[in-house]
Amino acid sequence: MIEPVQSTVWQKLEPILSAAAVPLLAVLTAMLVGAIIIFIAGGNPLDAYWGLLEGAFGSARAISETTVWATPYIFAGLAVSVAFKGGLFNIGAEGQLALGAVASAWVGYALPDLLGLNLPAWIHLPLAVGAGMLAGAIWGAIPGWLKAKTGAHEVINTIMLNYIALNLTSFLLNGPMQDPNPLNVIARTPLIAEGARMPPIFPGYRLHWGFVLALLVALLIWWVLNKTTLGFEIRTVGANPNAARYAGVNVARTIVISMTLSGILAGLAGAIEVTGLNYRHELGFSIGYGFDAIAIALLGKTNPLGVVIAALLFGAMRNGATRMQFLTQIPTDIISVIQALILLFVAADAIIRWLYRIKVGEEKLVLTRGWGG
């Protein structure tokens, strides 16, 4: 019988160590493989990675841009993580994000005209962001509800909802919601009102309060998952739905909550992009956030704080890619390759453990038990 107190310390410490090791090594290995690919493709890996690093952290502006990229990644990554914790696989972050953006853009530009008055920021901004969260919530709740009620598997449903959201957005931005300005020729909404905009933190830099919000939300989610009864229920349903049922947890309800929460976070990602950065929604933005989010959630071991780090890494890559291409003219697709490799190594951590002779075993997260018909 170990002395309880120190055992608590060890219990808290040990998983962090073993959890951090694999993702870190996965990233490094992926970078190395990426380097080889670049080399074979006739590029200079060192130049490329230097460019990547310079572009991501080389200057105050670069760092600010990295945070700009990381912000939606944090929200989307958290969205996928929360679903994972609840034993659900949310491939629908893409669609939830897009609708969130559309909704908050609409509230952002249309509300003043509807009400015929200019709302003060302290009302308008929360409304705009809230609208995005609501849209995301709905888009996440649908598959959650279907799963709880009919057992229809969320993976296929979220994929379908992605396409529906895509069509919906295109329709709205090409028609009803398109910027009426005669000079505008783009499928995009009008600019949102001043009151609905999130100010940049430092003048001249695009780093906006949305990033700070993202960090706070990450903390909040961590707290909810680990310190509250709701989190306990979500995790229990995720770990063993049967036991949860026996213990009196309302599984159906919890599933819906997890997916809704997941949707809210994804919607938030879209809402913040609109209110904090673009001040409008434009067709074609957010291509590929959904799958990046999955990679980020897994890289972060579905731990909110891990997700933040993973998101910063992915943000840095996407942001630095521009500089890399400018310096070396290596196609930015290499970033996707590296990210896929990271995901590969994180998922099949056995490979990493074998490569680096890591002994410790940790139970792998089982997220899916087939389609469940």
Partner 1 sequence: MDLRRFGFILLIIVILIGVVVLVGGKTVPAGTIIASMLATTISVATPLTLGAISGIFCERAGVVNIGIEGMMLAAAFFGWFAAILCNSIWKMPAMPSLLIGVVIAILTGGLMGLLHAVLSVTYKVDQIIGGTVINILAVGITGFLNRQLFFEKGSIFGGQVPHAPGVLPRLPIPILADLPVVGVIFRQQPIAILAVVAVAVTHFVLFFTRWGLRTRAVGEHPRAADTVGINVIRVRYANVIIGGMVAGLAGAYFTLESVPSFEPLMTNGRGFISLAAMIFGNWSPVGAWMAALVFGAAQALQINLQFFRQQIPPAWAFLQQAYVVGLIPYILTMIILTGIIGRTTPPAADGVAYEK
Partner 2 sequence: MKSEASMEHSAEPVLQVKGITKQFPGVLANDHIDLDLRKGEIHALLGENGAGKSTLMNIIYGLYQPDEGEIWVNGRQVVMHSPNDAIKHGIGMVHQHFMLIPVFTVAENIMLGSETVKKGVLDRRGVARRVRELSHQYGLDVDPDALVSDLPVGLQQRVEIVKALYRQADILILDEPTAVLTPQEADDLFRIMRELAAQGISIIFISHKLKEVLKISDRITVLRGGRVVGTTRPQETDQAHLAAMMVGREVILQVEKSEARPGDKVLEIQNLNVFDDRGVRVVNDLSLELYAGEVLGIAGVQGNGQSELVEALTGLRHIHGGRVLIQGRDVTNKPPRAITEVGTAHIPEDRQKFGLVLSYPVTDNLVLCTYYLSPFARRGVLNFRAIDENGRRLVEKFDVRTPSPYVVASKLSGGNQQKVIVARELSRPIRLIIANQPTRGLDVGSIEYIHREVIDMRDQGCAVLLVSAELDEIMALSDRIAVMFGGRIVSILPAARADRETLGLMMAGVEVGHPEPVQAVT
Partner 3 sequence: MRKFVILSLVLAFVLMPLAACKTSKEPDCKKADVFCVGLVTDVGKIDDKSFNQSTWEGVQQAQKELGAIVKYIETTDAKDYDKNIAQFADANYDVIVTVGFALGEATIAAGKKYPNVKFIGVDQFQAEVVPNVVGLIFPEDQSGFLAGALAAMMSKSGKIGAVLGTDAVPPVWRFGEGYRAGAQYINPNIEVNVVYHNDVGFDKTFTDPEWGKTTAISMIDKGVDVVFGAGGKTGNGALLGCAEKGVMAIGVDTDQYYTVPEAQSVLLTSAMKLLTPGTFALIKMAKEGKFPAGGNYVGEAGLAPYHNFEDKVPADAKAKIEELTAAFKSGTMQTGVSPAKPQ
What residues line the site for partner 1 (CB under 8 A)? 37, 41-42, 89, 91, 146, 149-153, 155-157, 159-161, 163-164, 167-168, 170-171, 291, 294-295, 298, 329, 331, 333-341, 343-344, 347-348, 350-351, 364-373
Smallest separation, CB 288 to partner 3 (Å): 9
Report d(CA 145, CA 260) in Å as an integer: 9
- Are 314 and 73 in contact by the 8 Å Cβ rule? The answer is yes
Nearer to partner 1, 157 or 236 (CB): 157
3-state secondary structure of 208: strand
Please pick, from the candidates 33, 53, 110, 239, the single residue that binds partner 2 as defined by CB under 8 A.
Answer: 239
Which letter does DSSP use for residue 183 in this model? T
**Residue among 111, 323, 338, 343 that touches partner 3 (CB under 8 A):** 323
Nearest to 372 by CA among 266, 290, 255: 255
Query: Binding of partner 3 at residue 105 (CB under 8 A)?
Result: no
Q: Does 194 bind partner 3 (CB under 8 A)?
A: no
Question: Which of these segments, 48-56, 99-107, 149-157, 194-202, binds partner 3 (CB under 8 A)?
Answer: 48-56
The least distance separating partner 2 from the CB of residue 230, rounded to whole angstroms, comes to: 6
Minimum CB distance to partner 3 smaller for 250 or for 336: 336
Rule CB under 8 A: say whether 220 interacts with partner 2: no
The number of beta carbons lying within 10 Å of the beta carbon of residue 194 is 14
Helix, strand, or coil (residue 185): coil
Q: Which does 326 bind (CB under 5 to 8 A by kind): partner 1, partner 3, partner 2, none?
A: partner 3
As a whole number of angstroms, the distance between CA 334 and CA 200 comes to 31
Residue 189 near residue 113 (C-beta atoms within 8 A): no
8 binds partner 2 (CB under 8 A): yes
Q: Which of 309, 310, 322 is nearest to 55 (CA)?
A: 322
Contact 20, 309 (CB under 8 A): no
Applying CB under 8 A, does 245 fall inside the site for partner 2? Answer: yes
87: left (phi over 0), alpha (psi -120 to 50) or beta: left
| Gyration radius from the chain CA atoms | 21
CB of 354 to partner 1, least distance (A): 10
Q: Which two tokens stand for residue 323?
A: 């500089």
> Which CB, 43 or 276, lies closer to partner 1?
43
The answer to whether residue 361 forms part of the interface with partner 3 (CB under 8 A) is no
Distance of CA 100 to the CA centre of its chain: 13
Interface residue with partner 3 among 2, 40, 117, 287 (CB under 8 A) is: 287
**Intra-chain end-to-end CA distance of the chain, in Å:** 46
Kindly tell me which of 167 and 240 has the beta carbon lying closer to partner 1.
167
DSSP state of 321: H
**Among the candidate windows 209-217, 243-251, 281-289, 303-311, which touches partner 3 by CB under 8 A?**
281-289
Q: CB of 21: closest distance to partner 3 in angstroms?
A: 6
Q: Is 198 in the site for partner 3 (CB under 8 A)?
A: no
Q: Which is nearer to partner 3, 24 or 156 (CB)?
A: 24
- DSSP structure string for 322-356: HHHHHHH---THHHHHHHHHHHHHHHTHHHHHHHT
Give me the amino acid identity at 362: E
Q: What are the beta bridge partners of residue 188? A: 282
Q: Which residues pair with 99 in a beta bridge?
A: none
**Is the separation of the CB atoms in 290 and 93 below 8 Å?**
yes
Q: Figure out which of the listed residues 332, 348, 354, 364 binds partner 3, where binding follows CB under 8 A.
A: 332
Report the SS3 class of residue 87. Answer: coil
Contact segment (CB under 8 A) with partner 2 among 3-11, 42-50, 308-316, 347-355 equals 3-11
Q: Tokens representing 245?
A: 């049922």
| Interacting residue ranges for partner 3, rule: CB under 8 A | 17, 20-21, 24-25, 28, 31, 44, 46-47, 49-53, 65, 68, 166-167, 170, 173-175, 178, 180, 182-187, 273, 277-278, 282-287, 318, 321-323, 325-329, 331-332, 356-360
Q: Which residues bind partner 2 (CB under 8 A)?
A: 1-2, 4, 7-8, 11, 227-232, 236, 239-240, 242-250, 363
